[in-house]
Amino acid sequence: MTILPNRDGPVMMRHIDEGVRFCKARGAGAFLGSYLPPWEPHPTSEGEIQYEECSVRLDPSIVQNCTVNGAEQLDRLPEMFRDRGTQSFEASQIEEV
């Protein structure tokens, strides 16, 4: 599992391409499962975030990706995937193996 930085769409795609090459070289199928934390596309300040029953302190490496630019970079990825002829599925469309 690799956590990709959400700072630059083309940089993210290069990491993904490297993973695909790694899998293909070993005769394995390649897939990308993604999860977008709800805070990623919104500017987030460093420090503690207080909730009613708890507080959370995000690691600075996570906060640096929380920008409007991060959301714009993510918007570039679907086109880059389409250019590579990939298929996309929602989790509900994938049958158990």
**C-alpha–C-alpha distance, residues 44 and 90, integer Å:** 28
Q: What is the pLDDT of residues 24-37, one digit of tens each?
A: 999 998 877 766 66
Query: Which pLDDT value is given to residue 27?
Result: 93
Short-list 53, 60, 69, CA closest to 6? 69
Radius of gyration of the chain (CA): 16
Give me the half-sphere count of Cα atoms (radius 13 Å) on the Cβ side of residue 14: 7
Query: Which pLDDT value is given to residue 39?
Result: 57
Query: Which pLDDT value is given to residue 79?
Result: 87
